[in-house]
Amino acid sequence: KESQAEKFLQQHMDPDTSTVTSSYCNEMMKHRNRTVGFCKPVITFIHQPLPDVQVICFQGNVRCKNGQSNCHQSSSKMRITDCRLKKGSKYPKCDYKTQQLQKSIIVACECVQYETVHFDGSV
Ligand SMILES: Nc1ncnc2c1ncn2[C@@H]1O[C@H](C(=O)NS(=O)(=O)C[C@H]2[C@@H](O)[C@H](n3ccc(=O)[nH]c3=O)O[C@@H]2CO)[C@@H](O)[C@H]1O
């Protein structure tokens, strides 16, 4: 069974892509088998080297959306792509809008290895 940290990498990391095409999200959601069983409403992919993301666990500590206090906000903007489910798309035809952005991101970190385990949002 993959750990939360491995799941985060699988679900959110794409360091090798710098610019995306309009079909990026639909392709990624298929390749990363993120559309198993239902269409996830929002998924963000991060186009930064892994160390740039792991260091966020040592940056601004902020409250998570779920009230936990182990979220951290990146002190610099990150190159990301937001994939948002288009209205009216029905599983298994999950149709996503691709939006490339540069924003500060908020992730949750596990205190043990200080690994990113959850994407909380971007601001
Ligand atoms: N503080 C914590 N500390 C430790 N663990 C924590 C904590 N909080 C949750 N987990 C765990 O994380 C796991 C998980 O997958 N949570 S998830 O909410 O579904 C992820 C969201 C995110 O993937 C995506 N999204 C959302 C916005 C956006 O801009 N971009 C974007 O991609 O949508 C999803 C739903 O919002 C789950 O096991 C939960 O228990």
pLDDT at 35 (0 to 100): 62
Find, among 107, 75, 111, the residue nearest to 9 by Cα.
107
Q: Is 72 in the pocket of ligand 1 (CB under 6 A)?
A: no
Judge if the beta carbon of residue 108 lies within 6 A of ligand 1.
yes
Give the mutation target among 62, 120, 122 for probing the ligand 1 site: most ligand atoms within 8 A of CB.
Answer: 120
CA-to-CA distance for 81 and 83, rounded, in angstroms?
A: 6
pLDDT tens per residue, range 57-97: 999 999 999 999 999 999 999 999 999 999 999 988 899 99
98, 21 in Cβ contact below 8 A? yes
The ipTM value here is 0.92
CA of 120 to the centre of ligand 1 (A): 5
The alpha carbon of 66 and the centre of ligand 1 are apart by a number of angstroms equal to 9
The pLDDT value given to residue 30 = 83
Query: Which tens digits make up the pLDDT trace of 16-59?
Result: 999 999 999 999 988 887 667 889 999 999 999 999 999 999 99
